[in-house]
Structure 1
Amino acid sequence: MEKAKINAYQLFVLIFLFEMGSALIIPIAVEAKQDAWLSILLGMLGGLLLFFIYHRLYLYYPDISAVEYVQKITGRFLGRIIALLYLLYFAYLAARVLRDFGTMLVTIAYFDTPLFIINALLIMVLIYTVRKGIEVLARTGELLFVLMYLLAFAGFVLIVISGLIDINNLKPVLEEGIIPVVKTTYTQTLYVPFGEAVVFAMILPYLNNPKVAKKTGLLAIGLSGINLAIVSAINFSVLGVDYMMRSQYPLLSAIQRIQVADFLERLDVFYMIATIIGGFFKISIFFYAVIAGTSSLFKVKQPSRLAYPIGLVILVLSMTIASNYSEHIREGLDIVPIYLHLPFQVMIPILLLGIAFVKNKIKQSKKDSNILEPDSRSIE
């Protein structure tokens, strides 16, 4: 591991920006229609439960990353296989998020620029960042977190002043019952973005005070979930259900409708800055986790050198995972949740926690029996 430490506030900022990430650009939970905000909140509650699992594993092994404690829990051979699969999973998610943001930039601003060029420029900035280490990334997050909240507050105030919000668009609540909301939660919002916090199993060992890890993580996930629910409710109240179901970037569509005093309008730059900040941190954390895990798994002495080849792999993967954006979205909704998110975010961590719990109990019982066993020499 890198010899670095971050404080509780920096961890909070990293988790918050990570969770907001691509959730600001992709239309999440729209299948639940005007109840999407409720599905997001339910997904947040599930994400909090999952973080309890990740945190408990961290408590068993506070000084090593997930790549290392997986080998301790399941054995060296099987553990290395599981660790490698997790690194591939993180690299794949980094590529997916890179594709999301590259496509967004091409669609909104750089119409004549090839997607590969946009993604290549983004990955160059990311390589430079992750080579600097987790401390630099965390300090950058402290600065940009304030900017992101200022943009969010300004955007909300301007939407309200413009008179765009129609609460009736959020009615009736639970029009089709609770089943569609629960289904959307299980198939989407539980995993993206909240379950993706599994990547912080690679970051938690850098925390300088392990006692605040649980409180910090739960607070960050909870606040991000509330923010995303508010964003979803605003999008539906401004655009309506029919437009939301068709919109590729609903938050952008809502911001584009802002018009104050016939001169303050077309504030696309608010959307661009906020989403790029979120995407930058989401990709960076996945990217950093892959580098840190690979260096640990294969005993690389200078992890920063891995940034270039792994960055190239993520760039190529972002271009090849789908032939077009529609296929990319369909893959993310139909295939990835069941075959990737469910095992890597839920099933494997629960299994690892169960094995770690049993091993810890056996170890503790042996220690207690050794203490209670009388010393034969002292009896003689």
Structure 2
Amino acid sequence: MDRTSNYQLAVMMILFEIGSTPIFALGSSAKQDAWLAMLAAAIVGFILLNMFLFIQNKAPDEDLIGLLRLCFGKWAGTGIGILFALYFAYESMRNVRDFGEIANLTLLKVTPKSVTMSVIVLLAIYAISMGIRTLFHITEALLPIVMISYMLLTFLIFLAKLVQPGNLLPVLEHGIAPVLKAAFPDIISFPFGQTVIFFMLWHLIPDKQKMKRFSLISYTIVALFLVSMNMLNIMVLGVTINSLSILPFLQAVQLIEVGNILERLDVMVTLLLFLGLFVKMMTFCCGSVYAFAHLFPRIPRAVWLILVSTVIYATSFTEPNYTVHAWIGLVVVVKKVFPIFQIVIPVIMFIILLFRKLPTGQNALPSGPQPGGSQ
């Protein structure tokens, strides 16, 4: 069995949660209070994460499929498990399409989307085929690059005197209602509710006692970082431009000009965006593959990897354009579909496990295939 450490878990959670989130204008409908919407969603997400960890602690050696079967029985648990596997694949598909569209919008304007999207899928196939440990090593290598890049860009924004704190005022001009409306369910679903994918990883941590602490600390670091980046976008661009911009942080970085030497740093932002999308796409794809492998163990995991990856790539072309893709993501699935998997089903599991006393030493059902090396 391929195990990993709490440190690697923390690194994975930080990079996964950061993803591409700082680049976008989340909660912009709350105007200058968008950062408060992010903070409110982060607080609820923290409660949600505690609930996830409670569920995992009831059967620490089980992945999501085993937990679903424990809560709902073999057949109902299997059915819900299939839906979760499809949900993970859909989340992965959205990241593939985002990658292709944004690459076409920024750096690779001539390269066909089909090429850039095939590259990210092939890279994910290779990484997942090497096993879970390889995925964790990839995030370990990428995290310093990501964090140093964000720190450098933020420093240069301040150095270029682009920050206007007055853009954050007045606070709560229209009361708390716009903040709550912007936060729920949109920002809960993206990015905080996406921690549900870690049900596929937590059981691999050998030191279960420290797992909860590392997970909560990692989440807190990310939440504070995202709130800070949200405030930065507003302070630099102002409310109107921030809410209208597709990629506000990219637009903010394009304004950097220090001594006629440091400018045109938007390439760094684009690369950060690509890295974030790749990590999320790879993690969700991995979760889907291992979920299907647990549900149907007679089919080799390598076959599931090819099948799931092919479906992800093929379905990424089903939406006719990026406008439709964004509308479905921001208006339909984030509000009406994702909360079912991120909130509703976990809450039902929490209630069931809260009142069900498991026999001593029982860890749900016999475990399915563990995410080890390539098969």
Q: TM-score with structure 2 length normalisation?
A: 0.93
Q: Cα distance, 1:68 vs. partner?
A: 1.6
Tell me which of 55, 78, 81 is aligned to 1:80.
78
Instruction: Name the residue aligned to 1:348.
Output: 345
Instruction: Name the residue aligned to 1:90.
Output: 88
Q: Cα gap change, 1:24/1:315 in structure 2, threshold over 3 Å: closer, same or farther?
A: farther
Q: Cα distance, 1:364 vs. partner?
A: 5.7
Instruction: Name the residue aligned to 1:189.
Output: 187
Judge conservation of contact 1:39–1:182 (CA < 8 Å) in 2.
yes
Tell me, in whole angstroms, the C-alpha distance in 2 between the residues paired with 1:300 and 1:13: 33
Tell me, in whole angstroms, the C-alpha distance in 2 between the residues paired with 1:272 and 1:338: 27
Tell me, in whole angstroms, the C-alpha distance in 1 between the residues paired with 2:147 and 2:300: 36
Tell me, in whole angstroms, the C-alpha distance in 1 between the residues paired with 2:275 and 2:115: 19
Instruction: Name the residue aligned to 2:270.
Output: 272
Instruction: Name the residue aligned to 2:321.
Output: 324
Gaps of 5+ in 2: 363-375
Instruction: Name the residue aligned to 2:205.
Output: 207
Judge conservation of contact 1:22–1:100 (CA < 8 Å) in 2.
no
Mark the structure with the bigger radius of gyration. 1
Tell me which of 35, 38, 42 is aligned to 1:37.
35
Tell me, in whole angstroms, the C-alpha distance in 2 between the residues paired with 1:39 and 1:97: 23
Judge conservation of contact 2:106–2:270 (CA < 8 Å) in 1.
no
Q: Over aligned residues, Cα RMSD in angstroms?
A: 1.6
Instruction: Name the residue aligned to 2:103.
Output: 105
Tell me which of 134, 147, 158 is aligned to 1:149.
147
Q: Cα distance, 1:215 vs. partner?
A: 1.1
Partner-residue secondary structure (3-state), 1:257: coil
Tell me, in whole angstroms, the C-alpha distance in 2 between the residues paired with 1:291 and 1:53: 25
Tell me which of 253, 266, 280 is aligned to 1:255.
253
Alignment of 1:1-380 (within 5 A): 3-300=1-298, 302-320=300-318, 322-360=319-357, 363=358
How many equivalent residue pairs? Answer: 361
Q: Cα distance, 1:136 vs. partner?
A: 0.9
Partner-residue secondary structure (3-state), 2:189: coil
Q: Cα distance, 1:301 vs. partner?
A: 6.0
Partner-residue secondary structure (3-state), 1:264: coil
Tell me, in whole angstroms, the C-alpha distance in 2 between the residues paired with 1:231 and 1:188: 18
Partner-residue secondary structure (3-state), 1:208: coil
Tell me, in whole angstroms, the C-alpha distance in 2 between the residues paired with 1:114 and 1:264: 31
- Give percent identity, aligned residues only: 30
Tell me, in whole angstroms, the C-alpha distance in 1 between the residues paired with 2:50 and 2:350: 11
Tell me, in whole angstroms, the C-alpha distance in 2 between the residues paired with 1:324 and 1:301: 35
Aligned amino acid, residue 218 of structure 1 = L
Deviates more, 1:17-26 or 1:82-91: 17-26
Q: Cα distance, 1:173 vs. partner?
A: 1.0
Aligned amino acid, residue 243 of structure 1 = I
Aligned amino acid, residue 134 of structure 1 = I
Tell me, in whole angstroms, the C-alpha distance in 2 between the residues paired with 1:166 and 1:124: 43
Gaps of 5+ in 1: 368-380
Tell me, in whole angstroms, the C-alpha distance in 2 between the residues paired with 1:317 and 1:223: 34
Q: Deviations over 1:27-80 (max 9, x none)?
A: 211111111111111111111111111111111111111112211221111111
Tell me, in whole angstroms, the C-alpha distance in 2 between the residues paired with 1:223 and 1:97: 23
